[in-house]
């Protein structure tokens, strides 16, 4: 499932933690760990991705200053504030598509039945969880376990912070 109007991202390695958070929300997000800014810009242009970076030099590139390519200069060095900045700037929906992307590979997850995962998940998980997803690339099995719930709660907190701030 691809949503045509949803923003897609490429995260520079100086703001790498953003990649996982955006994937938790369900946004298609590449992590750029190459050395050449030009490579990142070329990928962003080719795939229509918004660049998230802490590098002020990239912001001076002509493709960005003339509006051909969208980039956001991340101002904080704290991951939570970085996430808050991106959510507020683009008005992102924290509940966009939870549980849709592999947090490691950025691949859309595929639904698996309980029977299909029976032999690969721990018995207590099998007993308590009914919904499973598998990454077609790394074959990790995901379920809405405690780790996932903790990340969702953190995201919700960020949105509430955003709303409160808007009142002033």
Only one of the segments 33-41, 54-62, 95-103, 117-125 lies at the binding site for Zn ion (rule: CB under 5 A); that segment is 95-103
Query: Do the beta carbons of residue 135 and residue 107 sit within 8 Å?
Result: yes
Nearer to Zn ion, 51 or 102 (CB): 102
Tell the smallest beta-carbon distance from residue 31 to Zn ion (Å): 13
* Strand pairing class (110-112; 71-73): unpaired
User: What binding mask, one character per residue, do residues 107-136 give for Zn ion by CB under 5 A, x or -?
Assistant: ----------------------------x-
Query: Do the beta carbons of residue 27 and residue 68 sit within 8 Å?
Result: no
**Window 49-78: residues binding Zn ion (CB under 5 A):** none
Binder among 73, 90, 105, 125 for Zn ion (CB under 5 A):
105
Nearer to Zn ion, 42 or 137 (CB): 137
3-state helix, strand, coil in the chain (%, to 5): 45, 15, 40
Instruction: List helix spans (H) across 60-145.
Output: 62-65, 79-90, 114-117, 123-128
Residues found near Zn ion in the complex (CB under 5 A): 102, 104-105, 135, 137-138
């Amino acid at each position: 499932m691809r949503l045509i109007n949803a923003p897609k991202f490429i995260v520079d390695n100086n703001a790498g933690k953003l990649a996982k958070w955006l994937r938790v929300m369900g946004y298609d997000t590449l992590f750029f760990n190459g050395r050449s800014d030009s490579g990142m810009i070329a990928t962003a242009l080719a795939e229509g991705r918004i660049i998230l970076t802490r590098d002020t030099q990239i912001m001076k590139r002509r493709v960005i200053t003339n509006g051909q390519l969208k980039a956001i200069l991340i101002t904080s060095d704290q991951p939570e504030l970085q996430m808050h900045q991106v959510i507020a700037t683009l008005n992102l929906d924290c509940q966009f598509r939870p549980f849709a992307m592999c947090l490691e590979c950025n691949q859309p997850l595929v639904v698996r039945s309980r029977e299909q995962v029976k032999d690969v998940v721990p018995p207590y998980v099998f007993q308590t969880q009914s919904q499973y997803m598998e990454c077609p690339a790394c074959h990790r099995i995901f379920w809405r376990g405690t780790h996932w719930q903790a990340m969702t709660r953190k995201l919700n907190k960020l949105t509430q912070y955003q709303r409160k701030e808007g009142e002033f």
